[in-house]
Structure 1
Amino acid sequence: MQNIPVVKMGIISVSRSCFPVALSEMRRHNVVNAYGADLYECPICVETELDAKKAVEDVKAAGIDALVVFLGNFGPETPETMIADMFDGPLMYTCAAEGDGDLMNGRGDAYCGMLNASYNLGLRGKKVYIPEYPCGTAEEVAQQIREFVPVATALVGLKGLKIFAFGPRPNDFLACNAPIKALYDLGVAVEEHSELDLLVAYNKHKDDPRIPAKVEEMAAELGNENPYAGVLPRLAQYELTLEDWMKDNLGCSKYAAFANKCWPAFQTEFGFVPCYVNSRFTGRGIPISCEVDIYGALSEYIGLCVSNAPVTLLDINNSVPAQIYNEDIKGKCDYRLNETFMGFHCGNTCSSLLCNPHMSYQLIMKRQLEPDGEPDITRGTMEGDIKAGDITFFRLQTTASTQLRAYVAQGEVLDVPTRSFGSIGIFAIPEMNRFYRHVLIEKQYPHHGAVTFGHHGKALFEVFKYLGVTDIAYNQPKSLPYPTENPFA
């Protein structure tokens, strides 16, 4: 299924009556030409309140999901901001730079008009996306719109998202527990079930005729050298269970994510670990977070929309040994030891993101559940070192009092062998040591972080800002101390 929206963008131009309407129309048309065919051009240039009504009706009829309000000249502050009252989707406001006409009869003063637009949007209590510098030529405005698309995709996606959660959080993992009230505030549906409900659904899929084909599909991905192929029929049965659950229970929602129980009773009752299936779903654009981490699943979904590529959820797990740092990092990469760490999870990262992806067993669980024999019920992880490249580590979370907060930090996965197990990589984030202490610890974030593969901090920051998150932390440079940072340390 297509699990993120394909956003259809539209543009409406506005014009103040004492300025030439033809100037705004011409500039709008130039933006559309610079952007390309995927931008719908509303033919109505808004000068009056009734124009605003007609223009919004036009873009709605055209199936527009996200809208650009373009001040081709100064713009009428009341009608142009009424559009925000009438259009129930992501909105961007920006304006035209001068330079395509003389400064006597062809001056638009949109630079001034944006100030009035922002004031009136505030009076109406409307949240909109405004670019960092909301004034530009046709080519520059077209680029602003391109940067708005991933933001709008995430915002539209959240309105159609349902998160299926199975089971209470494991004991001693309260850090991943948070009130779901904030999900309703965001327009996200959440459907919580017992892991027993999942087990009942799984058992109903016993001897499902689709299992052999699913096993063949998995075997093709894992290759002929997989020593744990005997667990594939169970994993195939589980994957079909989740597929059918999503299909049968999506209801009025359009998109899905899961937050599933995965231990400690899962192995003994289902007979495997679900990591490999989780990795396959996430590779198909359907995030499944570990340990019933609902806000982890939410964060993964936002990252999926912003990057339009597979994401993962990892523990901010362990420090990098000095020996590895000295052998493979020091002098080769411009990072201090305390700017590096290992991101790890048991085996939930999709194979396309791993070096030498292979099926294995969950070592930590085997120590407890199968200490003396060959792995059986602990089989089912997707393991390998995470491929080197740019990443963004981030999370949207709510406090116990349902205040949304978020963090975003850009960095990279280093091309350094981890010498460890699981889905794991050596991560480097500038000033990670300070970020770890004064954001992650100080603000009591859980150990799970979502990861996009690429630098998507700009779009993620704008998504969180649009959602009304006022506390958005990032890895601040040394020249910018954190409020809680001791200046004498």
Structure 2
Amino acid sequence: MEKLRIAVIPLVRSTFDVNEGTRVFKEQINILQNIDTNTDWIFPTSTIEYVENLKSFYRTIQKEPVDGIILLSATFHLGDLALHISRDFPTVPIMCWAVPEPPYNGGRVRLNSLVGAHLDFSNLYRAGRNDLIFAYGYANDPDFSKKLLNWLMALRAIKTLKNCKIGLLGGRARSFVNVDVYEPELYKELGVLVEPILLEELFNFSVDKEELENEIQKYTNLYKLVASLDKEKLEKVARLKIMLEKLYKISKVHALAIRCWPEFANYYGISPCAAMSSNMAEGRIMACEGDVLGALTMVIFKAIGCEEFYLADISQIFETGHLLLWHCGVAAHNLWDQRSERHLDTYFAGGKGVTAGFVLKPGTVTLARLDYIRNHWILFVYETEAIQTDQELKGTYVKVAAKNPVKFVESLIEKGFAHHIVMAYGSYSSTLKTLAQLKGWGVYDSNC
């Protein structure tokens, strides 16, 4: 997880109770340092009233870039402070923080913090800043700390994506125009680079006998092997798993988007599904069918602390209020429900499929996809439950709940989203929505 540097700048005006504002500032800093220990909190020794006071603190935060700035409205203050900070740090996301008013002293408003933060946010927003967030409360208030942690996680995702490289192995799948990506726009928006990789580069890796035998044994221990999976196919699966792992490491990518058909089955002899599944279980992100933005969505989940996710199709609608999330065998084997049988099968691609097969575990899940549709970035996000599912199919799959599954699918399709979504275990919708707010993305949160 990325370590952050966050600058906290306490702003005041001497016509208000600066002593109380300074006390609040110091108290809140102590709490912040305990809320997120994976963040370096950078702050001045005293509150700041004038633009001139900012200059010495600038030297501190310009030595090493900061990932976010919190403007703490310790008392009401003039709006030029925030405007100068915004001008000097035009790409650093800003939180405008207001604290509650303390008891009145002689009939006077002592801090007027809320108005100061409101002024800052309004000024910055009208001046064109989109990467803003407003927060109210003390640092140890549950609602405030939740909002703060969501903001910090969103900043971690932004920082990860600025240095992100996704390998596009073999290109996208044939006719899948909807998972194509315009690379200059992706780099402009997020700093993400896409590196094309020829399939021949993968197939040219050598694998020594000992590591191959070890990998074969792992598959044998994990899965029941169907009769059609002969020794040659099993060896190809194990070899491909190792080759993909080597390519991932040598290319220094955050994820691989793989054109998994038809070339693998036609020229290598098997499809890569089971080999991708094993790599996913070991923390290497791999997306089917050359889906770069599907891979990127999984990178985002990992950046915000999720380790369990799965790229899937919405394959079926049930009258019981459920959807089937299915793909032909790429889910990480550590997502297994521990009830179904885990098997390797060859049921598609003319017997060259070699896919993992099992049911995924139940639990709270977040469905999401970042997509680029008609020149706009849009994030789909929906929290629901994966339910215990009987094993009736080949491949990897699970059912998830939806209040109105037909309307859910209709609306998702009619918004133009690609046919792959990511299912991640855990509750991440608030963090994803915060990320979208900071980036100015549209958000589609189905209430179906």
Q: TM-score, normalised by structure 1?
A: 0.80
Q: Deviations over 1:60-100 (max 9, x none)?
A: 54664333222222233222243334344443222111137
Question: 1:458 is aligned with what amino acid?
Answer: S
Please report how far the alpha carbon of residue 259 of structure 1 lies from its aligned counterpart in structure 2 after TM superposition.
0.8
Shift of 1:309: 2.0
Residue 349 (1) aligns with residue 331 (2) = yes
Q: Are residues 1:138 and 2:131 paired? A: no
Deviation at 1:291, TM superposition (A): 0.4
Question: Which of 338, 358, 363 lines up with 1:384 in the alignment?
Answer: 358
- For residues 187 and 234 of structure 1, do their structure 2 counterparts lie closer, same or farther at Cα, with a shift above 3 Å needed? same
Q: Provide the residue aligned with 1:18 in structure 2.
A: 15
Contact residue 434 and residue 475 of structure 1 kept, 8 A: no
Contact 1:166/1:260 (<8 A) preserved: yes
How far apart are 1:461 and its partner, in Å? 1.4
Deviation at 1:214, TM superposition (A): 4.6
SS class of match (2:254) = strand
Query: What amino acid is aligned across from residue 330 of structure 2 in structure 1?
Result: N
Answer with 110-119 or 237-246: which moved more: 237-246
Check conservation: 2:8, 2:70, Cα contact below 8 A: yes
Q: 2:447 aligns with which of 447, 463, 476?
A: 476
- The 1:319/1:13 distance shift into structure 2, 3 A limit, reads same
Which segment drifts farther, 167-176 or 238-247? Answer: 238-247
In structure 2, the partner of 1:29 is 26
- Distance, in Å, in 2 between the alignment partners of 1:143 and 1:110 is 20
**Selected match of 1:290 from 276, 288, 292:** 288
**1:354 offset after TM fit, Å?**
1.7
Matches within 5 A, 1:31-430: 31-37=28-34, 38=37, 39=39, 40-44=41-45, 45-61=47-63, 64-87=66-89, 88-99=91-102, 102=105, 107-131=110-134, 134-140=135-141, 141-193=144-196, 197-207=198-208, 210-215=211-216, 222=222, 225-226=224-225, 230=231, 231=233, 233-250=235-252, 256-320=254-318, 337=320, 339-356=321-338, 358-365=342-349, 369-370=350-351, 377-379=352-354, 381-399=355-373, 401-430=374-403
C-alpha deviation, 1:279, in angstroms: 2.6
> Contact 2:245–2:279 at 8 Å: present in 1 too?
no
Q: 1:129 offset after TM fit, Å? A: 3.9
Offset at 1:26?
2.2
Alignment partners' CA distance in 2, 1:285 and 1:56: 39
Residue aligned with 1:163, SS: strand
Structure 1 unaligned segments of length 5 or more: list them. 323-336, 371-376, 478-489
> Among residues 441, 463, 480, which one is paired with 2:435 in the alignment?
463
Return closer, same or farther for 1:284/1:150 CA change in 2, 3 Å cut-off: farther
Residue equivalent to 1:487? none
Secondary structure at the counterpart of residue 73 of structure 1? coil
- Three-state SS of the structure 2 residue aligned to 1:23 is helix
| Alignment partners' CA distance in 1, 2:307 and 2:3 | 14
* TM-superposed deviation, 1:104: 5.4
**Secondary structure of the structure 1 residue equivalent to 2:49:** coil
Tell me, in whole angstroms, the C-alpha distance in 2 between the residues paired with 1:406 and 1:472: 5
Distance 1:80-1:434 versus aligned 2 partners, 3 A rule: same
The 10-residue stretch of structure 1 (225-234 or 166-175) with the greater mean CA deviation from structure 2: 225-234
Structure 1 position 180, deviation (Å) = 3.0
* Partners of 2:439 and 2:209 in 1: CA distance: 43
Q: Deviations over 1:280-327 (max 9, x none)?
A: 33334432111001111111211222343221111011123x5xxxxx
Deviations 1:81-137 (A, max 9, x none): 433343444432221111377475772111111221112212442233424xx2112
Distance 1:53 1:210 in 2: 58
Matches within 5 A, 1:435-446: 435-437=408-410, 439-446=411-418
In the aligned structure 2, how far is the partner of 1:103 from the partner of 1:216? 79
User: Structure 1 pair 181/429, CA: closer, same or farther in 2 (3 Å)?
Assistant: farther
* Letter aligned with residue 140 of structure 2: E
Contact 1:151 1:463 in 2 (8 A): yes
Stretch deviating more after TM superposition (227-236 or 116-125): 227-236
Q: For the Cα contact (< 8 Å) 2:306–2:425, is it kept in 1?
A: no
How many aligned residue pairs are there? Answer: 435
- 22-31 or 255-264, larger mean C-alpha shift: 22-31
State the match for 1:483 in structure 2.
none
Q: Which amino acid aligns with 1:176?
A: V
Structure 1 contact 163–258 (Cα < 8 Å) conserved: yes
1:317 is paired with a residue whose SS is strand
| AA at the equivalent of 1:91 | I
Taking structure 1 as reference, are residues 76 and 248 closer, same or farther at Cα in structure 2, changes over 3 Å only?
farther
Do the aligned residues in 2 keep the contact of 1:273 with 1:362 (CA within 8 Å)? no
The separation in 2 between residues aligned to 1:271 and 1:152, in whole angstroms, is 43
Query: What is the percentage of aligned positions where both structures have the same residue?
Result: 20
Does the 8 A contact of 2:168 with 2:290 survive in 1? yes
Check the 8 A contact 1:344/1:423 in 2, yes or no. Answer: yes
Partners of 2:163 and 2:106 in 1: CA distance: 46
Provide Cα deviations, 1:240-288, integer angstroms capped at 9, x if missing partner: 43344344334xxxx6111111111212322332223323333344321
Read off the aligned partner of 2:275 and give its amino acid letter: V
CA drift of 1:427 comes to: 1.0
> Contact 1:219–1:229 at 8 Å: present in 2 too?
no
The residue that corresponds to 2:405 in the other structure is 432
Change (3 A) 1:453 1:122: same
> Cα offset for 1:344?
0.5
Aligned to 1:486: none
Please give the alpha-carbon distance, in whole angstroms, between the structure 1 residues aligned to 2:274 and 2:254. Answer: 18
Query: The residue matched to 2:290 in structure 1 has which SS?
Result: coil
C-alpha change, 1:58 and 1:168, in structure 2 (3 Å) is same
SS in 1 for 2:371: strand
- What's the offset of the Cα at 1:458? 1.3
1:56 is displaced (CA, Å) by 4.2
Partner of 1:332: none
